[in-house]
Chain A
């Protein structure tokens, strides 16, 4: 099968002091899919923010808008649209359009079967950072040899549908068609923080118990 597609992806981006963000900046060998250059993006805005919250649970905890009372069923609607602005840094929101030739889709039942046969433990998609992310880093180390430019994978921060994570690898960088700064400066809402899945033991108490 041969297919070239245009893929619209999202990414929250660090705002430097000079207010000139670099949407392609990456720290090498970080996260679930570490390579020398992995650009973490998502297929939906809400998952981009959820990944951000999952990355900074301490600052989400310190951004408690309820004075320690916490969000519950009764107060969720009131707080849901408020921003987490106290301690969690604002970010720019970018849309990135890629024209991938080799985007590996690992989200379908068929791909899951392939991965299973390859010996990849599917629970690795959600494996804890403390567990070394299961088999994910090893698969990431193969992507260069496999010629994959990017891959579509589940998000550990958001397990309710709505989209995927798309780590883009070095080979995919040249497939970038355009980058647009959608929002100069924004913060996730309380609703995102509540709905986000955090690593074990890291869910801020004021958001209530995990699902």
Chain B
């Protein structure tokens, strides 16, 4: 079995394995899929194997440009001070009482929750004892779930700011029945993809 060195890639790639893949892609019955990747397959083979005598250059990052404008200065300052560490706030706990949980975890006042449903603050405050009405359950449960995602990185007052910032705010979106959009924004915090 011949192993072929691939410059720029640490390790070795097996040419026999590649030949098998080539047969799979180009000699078997077409599925349509192979045409989409065909250019890349052929091109990668050519590019990574057929460049004799080309040495792999070192891969140091390019030097940063001179910090002569606001962006350059900001970049230099950012490298020097990229973050600020913070102490962890006390963790809120879910009690199982839906109204109380939304109030605690989302940091929303009873007035803000009342505005969400266009009802009185007194009516909302009574939900702690009487329970959330059936037709409000889905929205309140979604709010609690969204708050539970965000409260680890934001304390409850921060979750409240996250929900109420902007126009329309995320709370406005929830009021308009677009909980799924807000939930997707919260879930986007779970990962940090390069974009």
A residues sitting closer than 8 Å to B (CB atoms) are 1-5, 11-19, 25-27, 30-33, 38, 40, 43-46, 48-52, 54-56, 58-59, 61-62, 71-73, 76-77, 80-83, 85-87, 89-91, 93, 100-111, 113-115, 117-120, 129, 133, 138-139, 141-142, 145-148, 152-153, 155-158, 160-165, 167, 183-189, 191-192, 194-195, 199, 208, 211
Contacts and interface: CB of A to CB of B under 8 A. Distances in A.
Interface in B146-165: 148-154, 158, 161-162, 165
A161 B66 CA distance: 11
Interface string B15-56: 000000100000000000000110111011011100100111
A187 B195 contact: no
27 contacts: A1-B6, A4-B10, A4-B11, A11-B192, A31-B194, A81-B84, A83-B84, A102-B10, A104-B8, A110-B7, A110-B54, A110-B57, A118-B47, A138-B40, A146-B44, A160-B64, A160-B65, A167-B194, A185-B86, A185-B153, A186-B83, A186-B85, A188-B83, A189-B82, A191-B74, A194-B70, A194-B71
A195 B71 contact: yes
B129 interface: no
Contacts of B191: 14, 25-27, 30-31, 40
B10 A103 contact: yes
Interface residues of B, number: 75
Contacts of A5: 10
A39 B98 CA distance: 35
Nearest to B57: A108
A185 B85 contact: yes
B71 A161 contact: no
B59 A27 contact: no
A27 B84 contact: no
Of A1, A18, A32, A83, most buried by chain B (CB within 10 Å of CB) is A1
A77 B70 CA distance: 10
A48 B191 CA distance: 12
A76 B154 contact: no
Given A16-B149, A165-B194, 7 more contacts: A51-B193, A86-B165, A139-B40, A163-B61, A195-B71, A199-B195, A211-B69
Given A1-B56, A14-B152, A148-B9, A83 B193 contact: no
B147 to A, nearest CB: 9
